[in-house]
Amino acid sequence: MKKLVPIIVVFALAVLSAHPVAAARLYSDEDVAAMVKNAPTQEKFPQAAGVVLLSQRITKVNPDHSAVTDEHLIVKILQDRGKDKYGDVKRRYDKDADSMVVIKAVTYLKDGSVLPVEAKAINDLTPGDLANAAIYSNIMQKVISFPGMAPGVCMELKLRIYAKAPKKPEELFVWGSDLFQSSDPIMHKEVSVIVPEDITIKYTYQNEGLDYSTATESGMITHTWQIDNSPQIINEGYMPRLIKMAPRLIYTNMNDWGQLSNWFAGKFYPHVKSDGAIAAKAAEFAKGSASADDKIRKISLSVIKDIRGVG
């Protein structure tokens, strides 16, 4: 199920030559050029739609609790189906709390020329699955459509997300999860979280294979998780879900579930105080029910039919 791949020395050299900025690494145009030049061919990965040359995300939480997240993605297209998989990159964000900007978006053609993504090919849309759910009107999706997609070309994307500081210090939640293996091979992936020294990051793994390092500089702690040469997982019938097999990182600054549930309860319960009208309506919907299950069914169907449906 897992297809092992040999270490590609020239690619590893390109990755290791990245210039450190503070305790997190940034990749220069020269680094990117080396990755593109030495990228694997379709012969090495005949069953892959593409190969991820670099997947990097750096999240920095500032002392005022605002945050900046930088994403850097480089992918080589190997087959026609890779055009559909990587040609339109979609990223969601909360427009009330975040702003997302495209720093760089280009396609590297096989002849060495570079095609930049045009401004009209970058759009902010409501996600299709939320089109009828007005309650989530703050959720937007930025779509970046890359030109010249074809087997043998590479795409590069740099995104930056600015997140506002929470209104209350106790509402600062630093959390996330990432898979470090996919249905296409990954040459190098890294996730860095940079926080002030007074913020403790807790993390755990599901499955093995990640390298972890930490560094402290100027009152900030950088946590970095990474993997090199992550093999492609080839889909098979009735195989377990990817999340069951791939190395997975989970991290948070929360102490326990109680901290999160207490915060959620403080947001939720003040809005569900009832004067008895809801209970009376529920009793009306459940009238004549033969059992508790029947009561639940009648109430649910009545709410969907007569009150509202949430898309």
Residues 164, 66 contacting (CB under 8 angstroms)? yes
* Structural domains in the chain plus CATH codes: 2-257 (2.60.40.3140), 274-307 (no CATH)
CB atoms within 10 A of CB 93: 20
Residues 273, 224 contacting (CB under 8 angstroms)? no
Q: What is the pTM of this model?
A: 0.81
Confidence at residue 24, expressed as pLDDT on a 0 to 100 scale: 82
User: What angle do helix axes 29-37 and 9-16 make, rounded to 10 degrees?
Assistant: 170
List, in order, residues 6 or more apart from 277 with CB less than 8 Å away. Answer: none
Cα separation of 244 and 246, whole Å? Answer: 6
**pLDDT tens digits, one per residue of 225-270:** 999 999 999 989 899 999 999 999 999 999 998 988 988 898 888 8
Q: Which candidate, 279, 281, 272, places its Cα nearest to that of 302? A: 281
Cα dist from 289 to 25, 282, 283, 284, whole Å = 63, 12, 10, 10
Q: Is the dihedral of CA 139, 144, 149, 154 positive or negative?
A: negative
Q: What letter represents residue 275's amino acid? A: D
Per-residue pLDDT tens, the chain, 311 aa: give them.
444 433 343 444 344 444 334 568 899 999 999 999 999 999 999 999 999 999 999 999 999 999 999 999 999 999 999 999 999 999 999 999 999 999 999 999 999 999 999 999 999 999 988 888 888 889 999 999 999 999 999 999 999 999 999 988 888 999 999 999 999 999 999 999 999 999 999 999 999 899 999 999 999 999 999 999 999 999 898 999 999 999 999 999 999 989 889 888 988 888 877 778 888 888 889 998 889 999 999 999 888 888 865 54
Cα separation of 279 and 170, whole Å? Answer: 34
In the block, residue with structure tokens 């059992």:
291
Q: List the beta bridge partners of residue 160.
A: 70, 101
